[in-house]
Chains A and B, each alone.
Chain A
Amino acid sequence: MMKKVVFALIILLAVSLLSLYAELRIDMLPYQGFSGIPVGTNYYKGTGNVYSSTDSGWPWCAVMTKYTDSYATALKNDAHKYYYTDKEMIGIIGLQNYGSSTDTSPSSSTFSFKGPVTITVTAPNGLYLESQADPYYHRPIEIWLYPSYYHSSEYRWVQKKLNGISYFKKISNSTPTVTILDSFNEETYEVWFDVVLVLPGTLDTNTNEIVLDDGTRYPLKDADDYSCLVTISAEYYDNTNSKTINNSITIPFSGYYDSSLDVQTIADNSVSMNIDMDAKAYNIDIDSERGKDIRIGDISFIGAAGSFKSTDVNAAIFFSSSSSPFTQGSTFAMVLDSLSVNEGRTSRNSIPFTLRVKNGTGDGYITFDGTTYAESSWTTLTEFDNTKFIIPQKDSGTVISSYSNDKQYFKRYESDIVLQLESNDITMIKGRYEGEIYVHVVTV
């Protein structure tokens, strides 16, 4: 009996020792450019033609404007310059060494790398920015990956053509998964990817349509509710530790189209929100579902100050019955659709409801009754009561390299939206009922 106990203890000890070994992780940092995307713009081209067979010297030249040292400047000044701007770059993916599984920041960026890395991009309805009110209006998007690495005392973006192979990859609806740096044999590298949003096609201003190179047309309408919930996943087999590592990040993209503007400018990029409604939200059986939890959809949010700054986006999210975040609305209610403005709400022609979502730290819930509002005079986030407002928690990460340490603060929030009608047994007027909800994101 005694021997068995000792044996078990030894196993436990061995397991805990193993977990202290250095480990490789894939880190993903959202950057900016998720929101205010002008869906009809001719911007967001990710450099267009990255490769030309006639190029010499730097045939694979793509470098973000943030790189400003002489090396990067030389690239930008090259006759074959192609580079993307900060606003087009939406994030960075890095493979990094951590001292142990409990470490929260990477200890080193170099490791024994052997390709490939597999990257997959998915979205519930495909890679399209589509109008939430009318999904008929949508336009395709693409995610382009620019691998960058450090090897043998030399920085290489995508500029070097190694063995005649391009390491730059495009992800689109027809190619949602790519393998990248496939042919890299095991050597010591730093590896990271710049993730760039690209909007293919050009705008036909006469018809308000996006026209792709193959002639496919996507009609647009004036709206500010274009969105796409994009999930980027990366996977790599770590030879040193003989295990597969992976990570993913979900980013809600949002955009607008305004046909009256000659130049579709990029609006504020710091926060983005996506709400996906379930079919159930449009077909609630009031009589039988009073008092029960009804999942009507989900919400996701991301906020980042951009430019790899360690600064916060101080955002609060709340649900209200008022179209203004600064005005108190009445309690949420589903109201008979034929009710005229002169008729008052009664318990026979309307039924109150509440909405329940996760709180900002994800360890509890907040119930909204429609009356929440913000004071426009508030000056700090601490004035928002976190039991009444969703205050997304801070997240941060660092992608380090010998070139630069890219540290980024960002805030994320995701939750189901659960509606609950008041529990009563009042006989109501037969008919169709509607309830109006506004979701506000405010910053301070």
Chain B
Amino acid sequence: MKRIIVLISVLMLSVFTLSATVTSKVQRRIVVQGAYDSVTKVVFSPISTQSGSFALGMPFDIEGRLVQYGQTENGREISKWSLVSNTKFKLKVKVGKLTYKKTNTSDTNSCELDYIIKFTYEFGYYDSSGSAQSLSGYFSFDTGENDGKGRSYYLSSSGSIEYGTPDTDGYFEIDIMPAVQSDSIVGSVDGSVYFMFTQTSTNKIQNQADTVPSGDYEAQVIINIEEKT
């Protein structure tokens, strides 16, 4: 009988031990960020053409309805873009026309098409007092008008910005945070890039489709990010 009692005691002890081992109750992951030297970085991630019903990505049919002017507010989403900076920066953009790509040297076709490219952005940053802020906006280019147009919306105020003439290399300088005056601004940008044809008379795809040869078309869009000194 004594043995049984001992056995019961051992069992009780083992049950107690099981219920009292270390248990993970709460866990948080935090990430600290920093930079060595000044850092500015811009990344474009083109979206691959989606099969099925999604009108997204590149390449696309230039005769497609959703890339014609006025069919959608922004046009076709063709890329994502992001930017990080720990210093004040200048954004410079140069936009070339959409150009027929010759198949070989004897190909005599040529064609340039005008379009509107629009960059939307969400800009998150910390102000000089350390409070998190954000603003959203866009800037766009019409290669037919040969100018840059942009507009930014802010949490505290709203307004529009006009861009001047391009520099001798054809770059427009874009200030995506004109309402933010602080020198201590650093932050990151996330956004999308949209494409649509223009409504101007130079929009051959709409007005003179028979003069537009079949084939591949390419446009070169160059974004430069420079640290402000």
Spell out A's residues near B (CB within 8 Å).
35, 132, 135, 225, 254, 268, 270-273, 275, 277-287, 289, 296-297, 315, 323-326, 334, 374-380, 419, 428-444
- Residues 25-42 of chain B: 1 if any A CB is under 8 Å from the residue's CB, otherwise 0? 111111111111111010
Nearest CB on A from B3, distance (A): 26
Interface membership of chain B positions 118-131, coded 1 if the CB is closer than 8 angstroms to chain A and 0 otherwise? 00000000100011
Q: Give 11 new A-B contacts, CB below 8 A, not counting A324-B24, A430-B37, A430-B39.
A: A132-B28, A225-B28, A272-B26, A275-B30, A283-B186, A285-B35, A286-B34, A380-B20, A428-B36, A431-B35, A431-B39
In the complex with contacts A278-B130, A428-B36, A437-B22 CB distance below 8 A: no
CB of A201 to closest CB in B, whole Å: 25
Complex contacts, B34 vs chain A, CB 8 Å? 283-286, 289, 334, 432-433, 435
Q: Which of B17, B37, B41, B131 has the most CB of A within 10 A?
A: B37
B56-113 interface with A by 8 A CB criterion: 84, 86
* A233 smallest CB distance to B (angstroms): 24
A contact residues around B53 at 8 Å (CB): none
**Please, could you name 7 A-B residue pairs with CB atoms under 8 Å apart, sorted by A?**
A315-B25, A430-B39, A436-B31, A438-B28, A440-B26, A442-B23, A442-B25
Bound-state CA distance A315–B22 (Å) is: 9
Within 8 A of A (CB), among B125-143: 126, 130-132
B181 within 8 A of A: no
Q: Report if B21 contacts A (CB, 8 A).
A: yes
Interface residue ranges, B against A (CB under 8 Å): 17, 20-39, 41, 84, 86, 126, 130-132, 186
Q: Are B25 and A281 in contact (CB under 8 A)?
A: no
Nearest B residue (CB) for A317: B26
Q: Which residues of B sit under 8 angstroms from A441, Cβ to Cβ?
A: 24-27
| Complex contact A376–B22 (CB within 8 A) | yes
**Smallest distance from the beta carbon of B20 to chain A beta carbons, Å?**
5
A429 contacts B36, C-beta separation under 8 Å:
yes
Chain A residues, Cβ within 8 Å of B37: 287, 430-431
How near does chain A come to B71, taking the closest CB pair, in angstroms? 28
Please determine whether A438 and B20 come into contact, CB atoms closer than 8 angstroms: no
Nearest CB of chain A from residue B176's CB, rounded to whole Å: 19
Which residues on A sit within 8 Å (CB–CB) of B23? 442-444
Measured CB to CB, the closest approach of chain A to B22, in angstroms, equals 5
A376 to B218, CA, bound (A): 60
Given the known interface contacts A279-B130, A432-B41, the answer about A284 and B26 at a Cβ–Cβ threshold of 8 Å is: no
Tell whether, in the assembled complex, residue B36 and residue A287 are in contact, meaning their CB atoms are under 8 Å apart: yes
- Least CB distance, B66 to chain A, in whole angstroms: 27
Contact B35 A284 (CB under 8 A): yes
Residue of B nearest to A289 (CB): B34
Q: What is the CB-to-nearest-CB distance from B84 to chain A, in angstroms, rounded to a whole number? A: 6
Shortest Cβ distance from A338 into B: residue: B41
Closest 8 CB pairs of A and B: A284-B34, A279-B130, A279-B126, A441-B26, A430-B37, A428-B36, A286-B36, A435-B32
Given known pairs A281-B33, A432-B35, A432-B86, the reply for A440 and B21 (CB within 8 Å) is no
Q: For residue A289, which residues in chain B have a CB less than 8 angstroms away from its CB? A: 34
Residues of A within 8 A of B24 (CB): 324-326, 440-442
Residues of B near A268 (CB, < 8 A) are 25
Given that A279-B130, A432-B33 are known contacts, is A379 also in contact with B20, CB under 8 Å in the complex? yes
Tell me the bound Cα distance from A428 to B36 in angstroms: 7
B54 to chain A, nearest CB (A): 22
The reply to whether B32 and A282 form a contact with Cβ atoms under 8 Å apart is: yes
Pick from A375, A378, A379, A434: contact of B33, CB under 8 Å? A434
Q: Are A283 and B86 interface neighbours, CB within 8 A?
A: yes
* Bound Cα distance from A189 to B5, whole angstroms: 54
List chain B residues, Cβ under 8 A from A282: 32-33, 126
Residues of B within 8 A of A436 (CB): 29-31
Residues B27 and A376 in contact, CB atoms below 8 Å apart: no
Q: Which residues of B contact A444 (CB under 8 A)?
A: 20-23
Contacts of A443 in B (CB 8 A): 22-23, 25
Q: A78–B145 Cα gap in the complex (Å)? A: 78
- Min CB gap A216→B, angstroms: 19
Distance, CA A279 to CA B131, complexed state (A): 7
Known: A279-B131, A436-B31. A271 touches B22 (CB 8 A): no
B218 CB → nearest A CB, Å: 28
